[in-house]
Amino acid sequence: MAGHPAGAATSGSGGPAPTVTRRLGGFEVVALLDAHGPFFLTMDEAFDGATEHDWDRARRVDPGAFGPERTWNLDFRCFAVRLPSGGYALVDAGVGPEGSPASAWAPVPGELPLRLAEAGIRSGDVRIVVLTHLHADHAGWSVSPEGMPYFPNARYVVQRTEISALERNGDETILPFVVEPLRDSGQLDPVGGGVCLARTARGGLMTVPTPGHTPGHQSVLVRDHGEQILITGDVLVHAVQLVAPNVAYRFEADPALARRTRRALLDAAGEWPTWLATAHLTRPFLRAESGDR
Ligand SMILES: [Zn+2]
């Protein structure tokens, strides 16, 4: 859209652009493609409330998500936000290496380390890792299979309710693989509610609680000079939920809450010029109004 600071740089050739950068005031947001592949359920099984009309509209927004025979092709994407004070905040940590918890169903190994290197970001430059939630495809490059945090200088920001829900459910995957090593290294930063991570004269970087997909799900808002980039996490896992926010995704922990959260977030996004930055759509950035609900 004309008139917006839409500086886009890509690397690689053919297929989806693995790295795309968007500037917003004092911030720079780099989309980093960790992996791409078909989901293990058809789109109808994953979103059984969607109508053919919904699918037609979704296809116009994100044609790359539609594979043959109603398969759903999805990206697994992380975002690095360059902080005005130096260093980076990384939002989500992808599917991870061979042997990560996501190996059971996601296309591992991911390529986040390669993407970071291409973008000139060293692991030591990452000051903050925000995990939108503790599903395996968002926390894979948090800690190595040997239990070493990949980002030695970072605190890892997770909603406290996300951790307590896993503890209540007796989780034996993410707690030992991600949470306990970070607790041991002193890098786990459990938070409650929205937290300001960085500030500029006319904006900032903050977390926004967006529960429903999981109990302690959070999104990340980058706001400066009257514009914003909203890193949604899994509030939107497919464009069908952008064009029809009432459509539930099969693996939402609380579908009714997820629906209310999605509506509220998209309504709030409509009040400012907003780019949505999603983990799983095959377009790294899209205008909030492109859903045209
Ligand atoms: Zn996900």
- The mean per-residue pLDDT over the stretch 20-38 comes to 95
Residue 279 Cα to ligand 1 middle (Å) = 7
- What average pLDDT is seen over the chain? 93
- The mean per-residue pLDDT over the stretch 90-110 comes to 96
**In the predicted structure, residue 15 carries a pLDDT above the cut 70:** no
Q: What is the pLDDT of residues 267-279, one digit of tens each?
A: 999 888 999 999 9
Q: If pLDDT is split at 50, 70 and 90, which confidence band does 7 have? A: very low
**In the predicted structure, residue 2 carries a pLDDT above the cut 80:** no
C-alpha to C-alpha distances, 293 to 74, 176, 231, nearest whole angstrom: 22, 41, 19
Q: If pLDDT is split at 50, 70 and 90, which confidence band does 3 have? A: very low
Q: What residues sit around ligand 1, an ion, with C-beta below 5 angstroms?
A: 137, 234
Residue type, 102: A
> Is CATH 3.60.15.10 correct for 19-288?
yes
Residue 21 Cα to ligand 1 middle (Å) = 21
Residue 201 Cα to ligand 1 middle (Å) = 33
Residue 202 Cα to ligand 1 middle (Å) = 31
What confidence score (pLDDT) does residue 271 get? 86
CA atoms within 13 A on the CB side of 120: 5
Q: Which percentage of the chain shows pLDDT scores above 70? A: 94
Which secondary-structure segment (H or E) carries 53? helix 52-61
- The mean per-residue pLDDT over the stretch 5-22 comes to 55
Q: What is the pLDDT of residues 109-133, one digit of tens each?
A: 999 999 999 999 999 999 999 999 9
Q: If pLDDT is split at 50, 70 and 90, which confidence band does 292 have? A: low
Q: Which two tokens stand for residue 112?
A: 């986040």
CB atoms within 10 A of CB 281: 25
**Nearest CA among 8, 3, 73, 2 for reference residue 38:** 73
Q: Where are the domains of the chain?
A: 19-288
Residue 253 Cα to ligand 1 middle (Å) = 13
Q: Which stretches does DSSP call E strand in the chain?
A: 19-24, 27-42, 71-82, 88-91, 126-130, 155-159, 188-191, 196-200, 203-209, 218-224, 227-233, 274-278, 285-287
